[in-house]
Amino acid sequence: MLGVFTAVSGACGLDVPGRGVGGAPSGSVGAPARPNGTSSSGSSGTDAALDVDVSLGDADIDVRDGATATCASVCPGAGGVCVGNVCTITCAPGACNTKRTCPPGVPCVVECTAGGSCPQGVDCGNATACTVNCEKGSSCQGPITCTGGQDPDEPPRTGSCVINCNAGSACQSTITANAGSTQINCMAGSACQNEITCGGGSCNVYCKDGSACQNIKCCAGSCAGGATKNGCD
């Protein structure tokens, strides 16, 4: 369930089926992009906002307590719709005034489409894989958590986390991830304005420029891009 992430500065990521690679800005290598090389707004080119199209098919996915979840059984209660077996939660301004939490046992995508669309943040909960897209300035004002309920220094439960902060001030609060593979893309100046904390198997933080990322703490098994091992016990 882990996606293909080619790390910045020559480091290697982990293979994840169903992810496209390419469309990275000049000077970077392999930041994840939509398979057709376009942003969600339809723009193209090397400076387009990066995104990940999650396509994992219709297979059932086991929940950790031994039950079996399908998207149709858990996604509507979380305010999402199913695309295959992926729960997609779309937040336009005013539609998600409380924290959005992904349902357990299936992959999840949360789309924060405009300024103020996710004011209370996003919790990936116990999704098996999670992508959060913060498309515009101030679109993700609250914290983003992709940990499967685990602290970053504990073994990960979530397969992969992808967090895209695609504009200046897109992600204004903390980002905390603990997954088998984590990719965080800070795609403009001041895109990621607060602390980033990574644990789990691997963490790659792409910082478009020197102001794009702030206070990165990486305690994952491997750290790449703007993430270097620091602040670990």
Whole-prediction pTM value?
Answer: 0.74
Q: What is the pLDDT of residues 181-204, one digit of tens each?
A: 999 999 999 999 999 999 999 999
* Calpha distance 120→32 (Å, rounded): 26
2: in domain: no
34: in domain: no
49: in domain: no
28: in domain: no
| 233 confidence band (pLDDT: 50, 70, 90) | low
Task: Return phi, psi of residue 7, to 5°.
Answer: -70, 155
Q: How many domains does the chain have?
A: 1
What's the token pair of residue 126?
A: 């116990």
Q: Quote the pLDDT of residue 71.
A: 96
Q: Quote the pLDDT of residue 214.
A: 82
* Calpha distance 217→207 (Å, rounded): 14
159: in domain: yes
102: in domain: yes
Please state, rounded to an integer, the average pLDDT across all residues of the chain.
Answer: 77
**Residues 49 and 187: beta-carbon distance below 8 Å:** yes
Residue 8 host element (H or E): none
17: in domain: no
**Residues 59 and 69: beta-carbon distance below 8 Å:** no
60: in domain: no
Q: What residues make up the domain containing 160?
A: 70-225
The b/e string for 92-123 (b: 16+ C-beta within 10 A; e otherwise) is ebeebeeebbbbbbbbbbbbbbebbbbbebbb
Of residues 16 and 130, more confidence is placed in 130
Q: Quote the pLDDT of residue 45.
A: 34
